[in-house]
Each structure stands twice: as C-alpha cells, then as structure tokens.
Structure 1
C-alpha cells in the first residue's frame, strides 16, 4: 500500500486583497493618465502665447509618448530586481514632480524637459508596474480586474476636461498646473496598495500517493519512449563488465543471456535489492519513461557491480531525459511556460556580455514571430489611438465649436468608454473566444465609427458617433494589454510588456509624422482620421493572416505531433474568416463612402464677436463667410 501526503500549490488570490489592488490601480491611472486627453485645453493658450501652438503641442506630446514607451526598456529589469510596488511608487512620484515643475514654464524646452521627460518616465514606470501587479493577483478574473482598473482612467477623462476648464478660469495656467500636480500626488497612495502578492496567495491542496512497496511502483509512459540507454551504451557497458561475468551453471549452460527488453524505469528499480544502488538514483525522476537495458542473469554480487555501471550511465542521461519526459507529460496549457523558461547554459563562465544582457532583459522574446506580430498590431493600433485623441479637439474647433462644446463632447465620449469598461469584462471572461479575437472585432467597429464621425458636422450626429466610438474604444482597450498576458507566461510578463512599450514608442516616432503630413498637405482633418482607420485595419489584417498561416500549418502537422498553444481552435478560425471578409468588403466600399476631394466642403459655425453664430463654408482649411 502507499502513504498519502498533502501537497500544496500557491495560486493567485483572484479576489480578496486583489480588489483593493484594483482600486489602487484605478487611483494611479486617474492621477497619472487622465490629464492627457485634456492637454490641448490646458496648454493651448500657453502655447499660442509662445507662438508654437501646433508645433509645440506635437513636440511635447510626441516626446511624452516616446518617454513613456521607451521607459519599458528598464521596467522589466527594475521589477525583477526590486518589485512592482517600489517601481510604481517611484513612477508616481516622478509623474507628480514633472507636472508640478512645469508650472513656471515660459518656453517649450522647459515643458518638454519637465512634463514630457520627467513626467513621462514616471507614467511609464507606474503604468507598467500596476499592470504586472494585476496579473499577479488575478488569473481567472483577470479581464474583470483590468477592465475595472481602467475605469479610473475613464472617470478622469470624464471629469478632467470640465475641471481643467474651471481651473483655468479661476487660477490661470500656473495655478491650474499646480492643482493638477497635487491631484497627481494621489498616485503615491494608490501605489501603496500594491502589496506583494505573496502576502495574499491562496494555497491549493491536493493529494499525492507515494508507493512504499517496491513492486507496486507503476508509472505512466510518456507519449514517446525515451531511450535512456542507447545500444552503443550497452556495448560500452558490456565491454566494461568483468571478464568472468559469464559463469557456467552446474547444468553447463551459460548464465549470461543477452536479451534486449523494454522495461519501465520504476519497475526496473523495484527489482534492485541493494539500498546503495537505489540511493544513488533517488534524485532521478524517471517514472513513466522507458529504457532499453541490456541485462544479464547473474549472481547478486556481480549484478550489483554491473547494475552500478548501468545506473552510472543512466545518471549521465538523467537531465535531458527527465526534462523531455516532463515536457511531454505537461498539459497543453503549461507547455508554453516550459518553452518560455530560459535554458541553462553549460558554460556560463564563457557567456558573452551580449548574451547576459539578452538573458537579463528577456530579449529572447524577440525570436518569437507570433509575439512580434502581436507587438506590430498593438503598436500600429496605438499610433492610430494617440493621433485620434490629439486630432479630435482640433477637428471640433475647425467645425466652429467652442471649448465648452469640445469639453462636453469629450466628457460624453468618456461616459460611454467607462460604461464599456465596466460592463464588458465579465462577459469577455465567460465567452470562449481569445482576447485577440475580441480585440480584432472591437477594433474594426472602432475604426469604422471614427470614419463615420469624420464625415459629420451636425451637433447631434457628432454626439451620437462620439458616444458610439467611445463604446467601441472601451471594448477594444479592455483587451489591449490582455493580448500580451494571454500569450506570455507570468515570469516573462514584465519583459514582454516592457518590449511592447518600446515598440509603441518606435511606431509613434516613425508613423506620427506622416499622419501629420497628411493633415498639413491636404488641409483635411477627415482625411487624417480616415488614415488612422486604415492603420487599425492593417493591425487586424496582420493578425488575421497570422491565424490563417498558423491554422494551415497546424492542419499539416495534425496526427504527426501534438497541437501546441499557438494552434487556433475552430471558433477562433470562424471569427477570423468573418473578420477578413468584413475587411475586404469595407476596403472595397471605402473609396465610394469616404472619398474626400479637396474641393468638398464642410459646414462650420463661427462667432464674429457680436455673439451671433454664422454659417461658414470650409474647404479644408480655407473659410469664407456665406
């Protein structure tokens, strides 16, 4: 019979203090990120006074985004060396310091050095650390946690435009910046709530039966038999055996009979009699594997000597065989984690400096083509998102709407955004569709709704399309970062998220200027928004192509090898096909729906100073009173 032991495993809390962490992350997001959509309202008059309105806004925001994203190079190593809590505290302090130090600014260089660089570095550290903390506290309810934590950003987007407008009227630019800097200090309080997960982990107990009798030891075979001792090894063992190992029984028959048989390692060990031999291989985890063993029927003493040689040879093959067997016995959901684990170097002393850097920063992730495609899609979507937020206030101003109107439009967009982030995460956690598929579906509707928005001029139509766009924005962003945590193991997540931020920074630097050129050359804000929709569709198309290629290759390997984590299930494949058909239809009809000749006009409202509104016909940058 066997002895029963209790074995424990630490699992994510999926609740408890985790919900306090969600509140802390919401506070950090509210204090550090909510001011960004109101940048034009806060800095607009100041930049106009310096004579660098458009150029200054573009330079400051581009530097801010680049700093936030390139801080990802340091996030992974810092979190690994210290903790996500300490990094979040430092980031929150830097974010507040950068904003407060901007209040006496009288030049664009001052704003870039304080608001963009110091503040951007702090926002990058704080944002990345909070995301890593959430992924440590939640596993099954990760989508709900991330969605609810993003509500803080949505609330900030809702309240901040109105708050900025009131602060500017009451305290002017300097006073408003100081008050907002004080608000951003609350991020430190939120960071304090990010306690180490080891303080709150749950212990999951399961039963483990350990066999005590030698002959009851039975193992489960791996999917493929592992030749722990090769035929060449058998020959070497036979040659090294004593010459007198072959003895004659009284009957005159030779006692050695050279037989090859496949035996279970566990059953082979059960036939051993000497404790010393068993102890020498006690650390070997071979149960369930098979070995080709060349056996002799010999006396006990010679059997011990020859068995020792066999055990010695088996010991040399212990590491590789045990690892291979363990990988094959792992469930499918765990195979990727084994794949992501760094391989041990057999010659660490000769490892080059570059290899040490790669290992320390987990740059081996860049060898994974699927991860690179995820980075490409998320980065190109991020470019469209950032440029849309920057363009919308100018687009509404070009149509003749006041600052109060613009603030109200942005606030209503934030309301629908918050609604989507609060309602959709529990639904997304229950549906059997991957996060990337959900992201792709929402992204398509987001891009199309923004293109429809670009063609509107009426107040009611603008409000309706902005609200719908806000809903799809929330549905998209709740799955934005989860596409990374869904693919990468938890130990690789800080580095994966850091590289993701760096990729976003690179794409912002590369693609934002061409989008600005489109606006400057054409003089058309609608055309600029349509170009952002095109970027979103490129993201969806790149992922759809990957799914098709992966699906095709997995079909070819079906039956020959086990399916991997990258294999697409049938439900996902159907959604991908529908998405591709939708994109094809959309691209074919866009020239008819959204053709924007430079001579076309848009209705604009303006005020001549007398308090009366007049209708003006705008030809994308050129206006005249009708």
Structure 2
C-alpha cells in the first residue's frame, strides 16, 4: 500500500517548522560548495598546485555527492530522514576538519572530495523526504523556501569566510566552516517523521532467509547423490533471493520504466550544463565580454538574486495554477537554453544583465522541481530509491559529459562555443521531453473525457433504476 495514501497529509502545520529546519541545514552546509575557491585555492597555490588540481578536487566532490545515491535509498528506508541528515552534517564537518590540517593534495581529496561530498549527498534527499511527507498541494513552495536557505547562505557565507581568513588564516577559516556546518544538527533535530517508518531490516531479513534454508535442508532426508544437487539449488535460490532483496532495497525495478529513464537522464543533462555554466560564466564575462571584475561580480550577483527571489515566488504561482512539476522543469530548461544562446551572441552589458536575470529565474525552476519531478512520478514507497538512482545518473553524466564540455572549451579555446555546447544538451532534453509530455497529456485528456461520458451515460440508467424500485 502506498504510504501517503493511507494517511492525511497536513499540507502545512508542523511541516513549516521542518521547512525552516531544512533551510538552516542548507544555509550552513549546501552553501559551502560556493566558497571552495575562496577557502582552498590560495592554499593549493602555496602547495604549488595548479588549476587542474582544484578542478579535480571539485569534480571528485561532485562524483561522491551523486554516487551517494547508491546508499541513500536503503539508508532512508532503514533509518529516519532525521538520522540520515544528521549523519550528512557530521560528515561535512569532519571532512572540513581534515582539510584544515591538510599538508598535501590527497588530504583535500579525502576531506573535501569524499567526506564533504558524501555528506552533502546524504543531506539533500533526506531533507526532501522529510518535507515531502508533510506537503501535498503546497509542496512546491515548501521546497522553494527550503532551497532559498542555500541561496541566502551563498550571499553571506563569502563574507564570513573573508572575515576568518583575514583574522585567523586558512586553518581558522576552515575550522569555522566546520563548526558552522554542525548547526545543521539543530535543524536535523526538528525533522520529525509524520508516521512511524516502515521497518526495513536487511540484516534480519537475510538471517531469516538463511535460517529458512537451513531448516529446509535438515528436515528433508534424501539420497547422498541427490544432496549435492539440492544444496547447489538451495545456494542458487538463496543468492537469487539476496539479489532480489538488493534490487528491492535500491528500487531497481524503476529502471524498467522508460519514462523514468527519460526523467533522470534529462535532469542529469540539465544539471551538468548548469554546473559547467557556473564554472565558465565569470570567465566568459571577463575574457569574451571584456567586463571588469566589478561588473563580473555584479552580473553574478544578479543571477544569484534572481534565483533566490524565484525560489520563493515561483512555487506559489505554479502551485496555484496546478502546473505539473515536470512541465515547470521543462519550461525552466527552455529558458536556460534561450538565455545561453542570446548570451553567446552579445557583448552588450544591458543584454547580459537581462540574460543574467533570465538564467537566474529559469535555474530556480529546474532546481526546485528536480526532486519534485521524481516524487510526482514515483510511488511514495519508491521515492527514496528514485532519488538515489537520479543522483547516480547525475554522477555518471557529470564525470563523462561534463568532462567533454571542458574538453570542448579547451580545444576550441572559446567560451562562446562552450555555451553553445551546453545549449545542445538543453535542446536535447527539450526535444525528447516535449512530445512525450504532450502525448501523455492528450492520453490523460482522452481518458478523462471517456470517463466523464461514461459517468453521464450511467447517471440516467441509475435514476431509471431507482424510479422503478
């Protein structure tokens, strides 16, 4: 039975406290990604490391973040989202502490790439699961407010880092970030589950399987020649059941659904294009548009400001219009495509500012509706596994297609061509998703029409039957 259909979703109430708690977690943990360069690039230069090393650390961080999806489904099923989110905060803090004592590059890879990346990977889906259980019609605006916390953190976190770097140096600044990330534990304390979680003890289940097989073998007396065949069959059956249990824990049956494949691969391509744009946008403004550092910072602030405002306002509009989350994500993708194409064709400052606003607005549409699209497609009991598989697809595509975008930029020695390459990824998603969504919409419309006609036809018959009675 679907967990969500067996209870009444409050669509608010204590859920808004959870939204505030998640906003605090995002503010003090997710925003740490935005200050990587400010924290570590100077120290890496003192170690005589180049830009390639810094890129390697950030790419491995993204890889660990997304490949935590291998474990997130079973983890959320076996433990409460509160415990998974708290574990993520502890891992982020521990990874930063390791980085504060780093003397070699591999120390940053272990601390930042692995521990911080894996910790952030645990935080995002677990906090979304906590919000998802409390909201229905207002789910979009609840997720938008919680994600706005990360945007607010990106605004004030650089100033905090700057203060500690000036007054306490590299180690003091990183330790301060480690302590700040622990405030996420306060937020995790408020992630109260709506109902008691379903017990999902994998170890106990496997032990029961083993006991069952042992009992079956000892209760049957057969000829010695047959014992070997029976034992082999029992072993194969046990292995098959263990494999089936693993598939259940990770909800791998979702991969039988072509639409689910389309969703997770499409969102991974948009995610990769967004990551790459964030990296090349400042350089494009400086080297191609020939803007000074102050104007570059102003354009980046415009993108961030538009993103934060729309994370708060856009869900209110789309929820009121009852627009499907995937349709909003698609419209956001189309907006990102338009923004990149127009940005690549101009060096005019007013147009660049206008495109910065457009990109910030449409980016918020994709960020907010990422997990919401998965939640709308998957049943409640499959949602954790769906989020995990989506993260895995992002990790695979970032490390492959993302590296290809970097190679294109270096090979062509052009930021404009790199923007067009990002546009190709976004266009691919638009071209694949649009006819599929339209077909499903028309199919649903025909189904509703036939159902309405059937109801209209049955009503007179029921009235006639009642009059004869």
| TM-score under structure 1 length normalisation | 0.61
Shift in alpha-carbon separation, 1:554–1:127, aligned structure 2, 3 A: closer
1:458 Cα offset (Å): 5.4
Q: 1:283 maps to what in 2?
A: none
Q: How does 1:550-589 map to 2 (within 5 A)?
A: 550=440
Q: 1:393 aligns with which of 282, 285, 290?
A: 282
1:364 Cα offset (Å): 0.5
List gaps (5 residues or longer) in structure 1.
1-7, 200-347, 564-626
Shift in alpha-carbon separation, 1:179–1:454, aligned structure 2, 3 A: farther
1:85 Cα offset (Å): 0.8
Q: 1:170 aligns with which of 167, 171, 190?
A: 167
1:413 Cα offset (Å): 2.1
Q: Name the structure with the higher helix share.
A: 2
Counterpart Cα distance in 2 of 1:350 and 1:67: 29
Q: 1:435 maps to what in 2?
A: 325
**1:445 is the counterpart of 2:442:** no
Counterpart Cα distance in 1 of 2:278 and 2:191: 30
Counterpart Cα distance in 1 of 2:141 and 2:118: 28
| TM-score under structure 2 length normalisation | 0.80
Farther-moved stretch of structure 1 (181-190 vs 448-457): 448-457
- Superposed CA deviations along residues 132-155 of structure 1, whole A, max 9, x for unmatched, are 111111112111110111110111
Counterpart Cα distance in 1 of 2:6 and 2:56: 51
Counterpart Cα distance in 1 of 2:194 and 2:403: 42
Partners of 1:75 and 1:125 within 8 A in 2: yes
1:179 Cα offset (Å): 1.7
Q: 1:371 aligns with which of 260, 265, 268?
A: 260
**1:511 is the counterpart of 2:397:** no
1:12 Cα offset (Å): 1.6
1:171 Cα offset (Å): 3.4
Q: 1:543 maps to what in 2?
A: 433
1:550 Cα offset (Å): 4.5
The residue matched to 1:197 in structure 2 has which SS?
coil
Q: 1:483 maps to what in 2?
A: 373
Counterpart Cα distance in 1 of 2:333 and 2:383: 24
Counterpart Cα distance in 1 of 2:400 and 2:243: 27
Higher RCO (CA-CA < 8 Å; seq separation 6+): 2
Shift in alpha-carbon separation, 1:447–1:35, aligned structure 2, 3 A: farther
Farther-moved stretch of structure 1 (35-44 vs 411-420): 35-44
Counterpart Cα distance in 1 of 2:163 and 2:345: 31
Shift in alpha-carbon separation, 1:155–1:101, aligned structure 2, 3 A: same
Counterpart Cα distance in 2 of 1:440 and 1:455: 23
Q: Name the structure with the higher strand share.
A: 1
Q: 2:234 maps to what in 1?
A: none
**1:112 is the counterpart of 2:2:** no
Partners of 2:405 and 2:421 within 8 A in 1: yes
Partners of 2:249 and 2:385 within 8 A in 1: no
1:412 Cα offset (Å): 3.1
Q: 1:190 maps to what in 2?
A: 187
Q: 2:56 aligns with which of 48, 55, 59?
A: 59
Structure 1 runs (4+) deviating above 4 angstroms are 348-351, 399-408, 455-461, 548-555
Partners of 1:37 and 1:389 within 8 A in 2: no
Counterpart Cα distance in 2 of 1:179 and 1:478: 29
CA RMSD in angstroms comes to: 2.8
Counterpart Cα distance in 2 of 1:178 and 1:350: 47
Partners of 1:420 and 1:471 within 8 A in 2: yes
Q: How does 1:193-232 map to 2 (within 5 A)?
A: 193-198=190-195
